[in-house]
Amino acid sequence: MKALVQRVLQAEVRVDDAVVGAIGPGILLFLGVEKGDGAEQIPRLVERVLGLRIFPGPEKPLDRALEATEGGLLVVSQFTLAADTRRGRRPSFSSAAPPEVAQPLYETFLGTCRARHPHIASGRFGADMKVALVNDGPLTFWLEG
């Protein structure tokens, strides 16, 4: 699993001009599921995301985790994170997990997040989503689980 984490002041996801998920200050997370990924990876990745110290504290600019700030977490499925762009000009998605594998893992990831943190929002798996955000910093991190 791959996660692209961005610290945001706000973010929202729209499907068919309707907001399906929105947060204020917190993390926008794009989640990509690859072939071979499994549910056993989810607890560690959730721990890393919720515990990532990317928010300012009283003494350091990167000292607090999302859990300590009570910020929001907006999770958006993003199969293109599995793209292979090493050759040519057209990305290959052969390493992306098929939807029937990726969707249950995405839903399990969301459920695990919701069990640990009160402010979780999400996009809609497989939908044509429009994501708007105000990046804070900008701070962007790549996590693999």
Cis peptide before 43 (omega within 30 of 0): no
Could you report how far apart the first and last alpha carbons of the chain are, in Å? 5
Taking the CB of residue 109, how many other CB atoms lie within 10 A of it? 26
Residues marked as catalytic: 78-80
Which one, of 135, 106, 118, lies nearest residue 2 by Cα? Answer: 106
Q: Is 137 left (phi over 0), alpha (psi -120 to 50) or beta?
A: left
Beta bridge mates, 4:
30, 142
Beta bridge mates, 30:
4, 76
Taking the CB of residue 137, how many other CB atoms lie within 10 A of it? 12
